[in-house]
């Protein structure tokens, strides 16, 4: 075999760097949507690779629901310091206080859907014309149809049936005033690819991904962490379990799995034998068959 | 997974009846790429719709409208991994009204799977798919003769389709065609070797995909480096640093190579090939790197760095096989923005030479309307030179898109001939 070929991780890395450079070249004010989860951390790492030896030219934008894991916020602030990048925070609490959105009511209330308004407001007020996300096509069936460069109209909406064709690696980011784009550099990565890459590159990730003892409650087949926001049902009880999180969202909706995987090697081994998708523990996706598509059309991540 | 594993992108085209979704479902299912909660969701939906058993098509149809209508509208991407390779499937609809989606899916593929129903043989749709695969220069075509269970696994039926296909495909430019008799529904020759067709000596589909030689699919001869952006760190440590960031489109670049910057024609030598992980002695397609040069030359996005002894042709007049992608037809002598690698210019369609009937491959010099899904040979004039190669030699420097300035939509894709 010829020595001039790339292995699959190198090819995915090169593709993502290419996308990030296209974003930088085609837009005036692009940002990275940073959640503190592994996918946006990997995107940020790839941005360092794409622009070395310059520092990353993107600000990091965080939509803060107020329902955070404290570990995520600390991780975010440490990373910002290390990169010397700017941080933009959109606050869901402020959107509520300003009457832009109303808190959901009832037992399964979350702030997940409220983020859409805060995100779109932050994009508009900061004059962002491209928001780079860590979304992957393997995550969810609506995401399987995403482009690398994905157009949003001036209401921030996605029209999945009327997307621009995307051929070869020619990306068209042209847009009118008020419209913006979402860019997804790791579209073609799977959960396994992300973990293999984190391991290979030895990328720092929040401790929540590693198995640890935590107070939690059994709900909808997963372990919901105890927090100041948790309201216990009569038949529920707090127990201490060794768990870890496969994805990170709000502390109120992110369920953990029982695990002994406390190193990257063990996590990669564990993920490779998983028989459930990673978003299976996310109650935001369980609301309906098309929950993701419906939110994405409105402007969700 | 072994570190040397490669990535293979393949495309499938097909309509509801030919078993395409079943085939993909079978590949995902038998390679254990479907998760339990996905299976559970599909089982529930199948039950609600009153299907007997699991409707494997539901694994591939994503959007609400598609589920309601039971068709694939857009390109959907699927992923699976085996111990040998990572695969990306671009799953596209097969009907003529979705030609543009097939073209999109085919544009990045190493391989195409074309499904033929063993009972019906080569039909219009088969010819269309094969033509698009050859037009987009997909290096490998695998013709899966499906539903063999419905023709008693007969070698005769297989041979008949094979003859029909070969008669037709002799008109096409395809480097590598293979034929595999399968039953997607029952799993014969998809992942596991069929027990019902001793007469077939070749490998099952998955084995074929896993072992196909793809390293030489990328042009490693003509060194081309379209500049995406200029890196200027403005930090104390790299005060005079000026690097050119891009993804190598083809060929190999080495430190010390004599290069020419196009279109200006200035020459220099490669000083360093930089990455975050350290400087490299050489780099090749499709790597993303940053080049620095020995001399201070004015270079910006849209320029191309090439090896001085092997240059592309700078030209303002190109002939293109164009696929029209938009609802609104082309206006005569209309102006568009043309994107070619990182280079962007204004362009005008000067002439439609002929249109192709993609079912018969006949050329039509009478009807020259560039409407949705039309494929035509056209002449385009650009305001400034593009550094082009023949698409057959180079899929990256041989391809273009046209953007309508009034709507900002991508209205056409073209292959330079």
pLDDT digits (tens, 9 = 90+) for B36-71: 777 777 778 777 877 766 777 676 655 556 655 555
pLDDT category at B33 given cuts 50, 70, 90 is confident
Report CB contact under 8 Å: B64, A293: yes
Q: Which of B19-33, B163-177, B264-278 has the highest mean pLDDT?
A: B264-278
Q: How far apart are CA B122 and CA B160, in angstroms?
A: 9
Question: Which of B7, B42, B282 to probe by mutation at the A interface, max A CB count within 10 Å?
Answer: B7
A34-48, B21-35, B207-221: range with lowest mean pLDDT: B21-35
Q: Is A137 on the interface with B (CB under 8 A)?
A: yes
Report CB contact under 8 Å: A160, B81: no
- In this prediction, residues B256-281 reach a mean pLDDT of 97
Contact A27, A129 (CB under 8 A): yes
Contact A251, B12 (CB under 8 A): no
pLDDT category at A1 given cuts 50, 70, 90 is very low
Render pLDDT for B106-148 as a digit per residue (tens, 0 to 9): 999 999 999 999 999 998 888 888 999 999 999 999 999 999 9
Q: How far apart are CA B182 and CA B328, in angstroms?
A: 41
- In this prediction, residues B358-386 reach a mean pLDDT of 91
Report CB contact under 8 Å: B62, A49: no
Asked if pLDDT for residue B1 goes beyond 50, the answer is no
Fold of B313-416: Elongation Factor Tu (Ef-tu); domain 3 (2.40.30)
- ∠ CA B102-B103-B104, nearest 5°, is 90
- CB under 8 Å to A164, separation ≥6 — which residues? A147, A149, A151, A172, B409, B410
CA dihedral sign of residues A202, A39, B301, B401:
positive
Which of A258, A7, A149 lies closest to B84, judged by CA?
Answer: A7
Q: Is B274 on the interface with A (CB under 8 A)?
A: yes
Asked if pLDDT for residue A115 goes beyond 90, the answer is no
Which of B122, B125, B69, B123 lies closest to B102, judged by CA?
Answer: B125
The pLDDT of residue B19 is: 79
State both tokens at B267.
């020459």
- ∠ CA A132-A136-A139, nearest 5°, is 140
The pLDDT of residue A280 is: 63
What are the backbone angles phi and psi of residue A143, rounded to the nearest 5°? -70, -20
B91 bridge partner residues: B12, B76
For A165, the closest of B62, B100, B243 (CB atoms) is B100
Render pLDDT for A73-91 as a digit per residue (tens, 0 to 9): 999 999 999 999 999 999 8
CATH number of A8-193+289-298: 3.40.50.620
Residues 33-52 of chain A with CB under 8 A from chain B are: 48-52
B336 bridge partner residues: B347
- In this prediction, residues A266-285 reach a mean pLDDT of 75
Q: How far is CA A183 from CA A75, A172, A178, B121, B210, in A?
A: 24, 11, 17, 42, 31
For B403, the closest of A7, A169, A174 (CB atoms) is A174
Size of interface A-B (CB pairs under 8 A): 187
High-pLDDT (> 90) share of chain B, %: 64
High-pLDDT (> 70) share of chain B, %: 94
For A6, the closest of B85, B286, B339 (CB atoms) is B286
Render pLDDT for B229-261 as a digit per residue (tens, 0 to 9): 999 998 888 988 999 999 999 999 999 999 999
The whole-chain average pLDDT of chain A stands at 89
CA-nearest residue to A268 within chain B is: B1
Q: Range(s) for CATH 2.40.30.10 in chain B?
A: 224-307, 313-416
Contact B29, B56 (CB under 8 A): yes
CA-nearest residue to B110 within chain A is: A168
Strands B304-307 and B288-293: unpaired
Chain B residues in contact with A165 (beta carbon < 8 A): 100-101, 103-104, 325, 410, 413
B18-22, B98-102, B160-164: range with lowest mean pLDDT: B18-22
Show me where the domains of chain A are located: 8-193+289-298, 205-281
Superfamily of domain B224-307: Translation factors (2.40.30.10)
Report CB contact under 8 Å: A172, B284: no
The pLDDT of residue A272 is: 82
The whole-chain average pLDDT of chain B stands at 90
Render pLDDT for A173-202 as a digit per residue (tens, 0 to 9): 999 999 999 999 999 999 899 999 999 999
- In this prediction, residues B10-18 reach a mean pLDDT of 76
Which of A186, A203, A200, A196 lies closest to A138, judged by CA?
Answer: A186
CATH architecture of B6-217: 3-Layer(aba) Sandwich (3.40)
H-helix or E-strand spanning residue B249? none
- In this prediction, residues B368-387 reach a mean pLDDT of 94
Report CB contact under 8 Å: A8, B235: no
């Amino acid at each position: 075999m010829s020595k001039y070929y790339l292995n699959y991780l190198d090819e995915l890395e090169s593709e993502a760097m290419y996308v990030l450079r296209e974003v930088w070249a085609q837009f005036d004010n692009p940002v990275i949507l940073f959640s503190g989860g592994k996918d946006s951390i990997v995107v940020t790492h790839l941005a360092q690779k794409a622009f070395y030896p310059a520092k990353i030219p993107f600000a990091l934008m965080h939509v803060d629901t107020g329902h955070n894991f404290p570990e995520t916020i600390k991780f975010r602030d440490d990373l910002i310091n290390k990169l010397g990048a700017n941080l933009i925070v959109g606050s869901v609490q402020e959107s509520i206080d300003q009457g832009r959105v109303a808190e959901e009511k009832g037992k399964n209330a979350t702030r997940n859907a409220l983020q859409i308004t805060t995100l779109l407001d932050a994009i508009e007020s900061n004059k962002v014309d491209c928001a780079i996300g860590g979304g992957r096509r393997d995550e969810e069936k609506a995401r399987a149809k995403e482009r690398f460069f994905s157009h949003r109209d001036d209401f921030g909406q996605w029209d999945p049936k009327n997307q621009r064709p995307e051929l070869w690696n020619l990306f068209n980011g042209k847009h009118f005033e008020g419209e913006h784009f979402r860019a997804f550099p790791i579209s073609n990565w799977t959960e396994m690819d992300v973990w293999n890459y984190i391991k290979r590159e030895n990328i720092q990730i929040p401790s929540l991904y590693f198995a640890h003892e935590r107070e939690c409650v059994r709900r909808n087949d997963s372990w919901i962490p105890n927090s100041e926001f948790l309201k216990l049902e009569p038949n529920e009880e707090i127990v201490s379990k060794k768990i870890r999180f496969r994805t990170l969202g709000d502390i109120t909706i992110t369920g953990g799995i029982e695990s002994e995987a406390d190193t990257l090697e063990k996590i990669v081994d564990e993920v490779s034998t998983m028989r459930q998708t990673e978003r299976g523990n996310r109650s935001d996706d369980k609301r309906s068959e098309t929950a993701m598509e419906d939110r994405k059309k409105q402007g969700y991540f | 997974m072994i570190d040397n594993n490669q990535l293979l992108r393949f495309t499938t085209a097909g309509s509801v009846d030919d078993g395409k979704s079943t085939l993909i479902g079978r590949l995902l299912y038998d390679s254990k790429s479907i998760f339990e909660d996905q299976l559970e969701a599909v089982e529930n939906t199948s039950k609600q719709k009153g299907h007997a058993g699991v409707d494997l098509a539901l694994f591939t149809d994503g959007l609400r409208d598609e589920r309601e209508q039971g068709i694939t509208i857009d390109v959907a991407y699927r992923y699976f991994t085996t111990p040998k390779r990572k695969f990306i499937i671009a799953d596209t609809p097969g009907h003529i009204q979705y030609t543009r989606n097939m073209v999109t899916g085919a544009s990045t593929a190493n391989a195409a799977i074309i499904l033929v129903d063993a009972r019906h043989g080569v039909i219009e749709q088969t010819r269309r798919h094969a033509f698009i695969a050859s037009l987009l220069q997909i290096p490998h075509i695998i013709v899966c003769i499906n539903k063999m269970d419905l023709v008693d696994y007969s070698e005769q039926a297989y041979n008949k389709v094979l003859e029909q296909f070969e008669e037709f495909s002799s008109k096409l430019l395809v480097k590598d065609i293979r034929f595999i008799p399968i039953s997607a529904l029952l799993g014969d020759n998809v992942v596991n070797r069929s027990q019902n067709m001793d007469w077939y000596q070749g490998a099952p589909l998955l084995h074929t995909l896993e072992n196909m030689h793809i390293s030489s699919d990328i042009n490693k001869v003509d060194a081309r480096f379209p500049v995406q952006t200029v890196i200027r760190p403005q930090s104390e440590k790299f005060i005079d640093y000026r690097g050119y960031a891009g993804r190598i489109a083809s060929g190999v670049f080495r430190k010390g190579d004599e290069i020419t910057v196009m279109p200006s024609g200035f020459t220099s030598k490669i000083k360093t090939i930089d990455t975050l992980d350290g400087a490299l002695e050489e780099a090749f397609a499709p790597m993303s790197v940053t080049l620095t040069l020995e001399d201070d030359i004015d270079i910006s996005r849209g320029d191309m760095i090439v090896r001085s002894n092997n240059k592309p042709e700078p030209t303002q007049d190109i002939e293109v096989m164009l696929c029209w992608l938009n609802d609104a037809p082309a206006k005569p002598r209309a102006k568009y923005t043309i994107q070619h690698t990182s280079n962007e210019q204004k362009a005008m369609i000067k002439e439609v030479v002929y249109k192709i009937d993609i079912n018969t491959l006949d050329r039509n010099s009478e009807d020259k309307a560039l409407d949705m899904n039309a494929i035509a040979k056209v002449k385009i004039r650009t305001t400034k030179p593009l550094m082009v190669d023949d698409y057959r030699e180079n899929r990256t420097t041989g391809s273009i898109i046209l953007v309508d300035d009034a709507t900002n939509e991508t209205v056409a894709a073209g292959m330079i001939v």
